[in-house]
Structure 1
Amino acid sequence: MKIAVDAMGGDYAPEEIVLGAVEAVKAYDFDVVLVGDEKKIRGVLDQYGAKESDRLSIVHASEVIEMGEHPAQAIRRKKDASIVVATRLVKDGLCDAVVAAGSTGAAVTAALFGLGRIKGIERPCIATPIPSKKGITVLLDSGANANSKPKHLVEGAIMGYHYAKYILGVEKPTVGLLNIGEEASKGNELCQKTYPMLENLKTISFYGNVEGRDIPKGTVDVVVCDGFVGNVILKFGEGMAMFIIRLVRDTIKQSGFIAKL
């Protein structure tokens, strides 16, 4: 397998991205193509004594899409942006997958324009594996579509089901619809229209409505919602995790020498 990596996207790029790629090819059985400013990428490799090899190569891209840029406009304007070039390598069959840690909107848009949709899928969505009491809960959509229709949530349920089954190895994944209550009558118009559609869908195992607390509990393997709600949940979880870690650290610091040990 050969993976195209956007070396210019993400925090502390390209240094951390390049170093991560170097470690990855040592640990796993795949090749990496670093896409971005060739001079900067080589500078990082030289600085840390790493070299290009059969497993690690570079493809130059002269432009970068920054976090604050409008994804669709930037993709159209910057044809030689690193995420665009990396996605093109997959489209042309030169790589098997693309990894990007930069602008999520740019990555989704590049894939949408460059690779196209799966047949039968009107809108792509972002799937986020979240640690739970029972293993992993896949939350989708986590931010690709702020305004979704019932059919988009049904598409997400189907994609999430297959992701859990074939990528995470869950034999019979269960799918839940995120709502403010367990009853079928609960929720806004989107949830009320989506529920019977999922209930009548024979290709997945629909559990019913689930609430936010069911995500870390692992009540179901896949939780479906619109991108606005999913992104709020994701960012809240990130903030809560950081808060708990900070709280534990502060408590330990105030608890004496034995607690610190």
Structure 2
Amino acid sequence: MEHDPLITSTELAGILHAPDLRLYDCTTYLEYQPPGSDIPYIAVPGRRTFEEGHIPGADFLDLQGEFSDQHTPLRFMMPDIAALEAAFGRHGVGPDSRVVLYSLATPMWATRFWWMLRALGFDNAAVLDGGLEQWRAEGRAIEMGPARGYPPGRFIAKPRTGLFVDSRTVLAAHGVANTVVVNALSAQLHQGLEPSRYGRPGHIPGSCNLPASTLLAGETKTFVPLTDAKTKFAAQGIAQDKRVIAYCGGGISATVDLFMLHRLGHQNLTLYDGSMGEWAKDESLPIETG
């Protein structure tokens, strides 16, 4: 049984000075563009808020700038293995590192990095429950200023296949009995009841809807208890014997769903990386509302 990849602030405080700890703020902010724009949002790394206050010793990871494919109009797409090995190595991750990830306002940026590391075969990574907000709420120490960073590490990936899929795989999964496609966007966006910043409104045909936001609770956006999450997933027909393909707008919030499914013991989990940022703009792909 793998360790639970969720860590509390109390647990983090107990290992904060451990030499093998690699602690990262992964925050990105989205500046949404007006309807009809060629791009739905501009990704802004959260360096300013990092420098205004972060957990002592933390480094900062720029998802779009350093850990995403720079050769596609889509944001946050998984880059090639060599680029990720180099990037994680630059930030001090090695084979014996213990990685803890957090982000402000929502854990989805942290769970995205957790999913990427999992795809690279690195399992000793955890997400901080409640992020910096929970840490602050408990009156714990805060550090200001630029990241000091960690000594470079030698990160060698052991890639797992199938954790990221493309639109062809998603299209082929339609109607397959043992596969559930789940949309992590809001119910309004899923049903096509409001304009979509990604293109055509609606969702991938046949997909169910479990918004990532419903797996979080309170002002600090801690994760709901596993018993509650299990009930929510079961209500959508997401059983442990099913293959799950999760998607959202840009392959970020869907990792919240995947994180909780993993914690519940689901084995066959996949992320559609292009998500609605790709699907909604491709007129050759079907879409439905309601």
Task: State if a TM-score over 0.5 links the two structures.
Answer: no
TM-score (norm 1): 0.31
Of structures 1 and 2, the one scoring higher in RCO (CA 8 A, sep 6+) is: 2
TM-score (norm 2): 0.29
Larger helix share, 1 or 2:
1
Larger Rg: 1
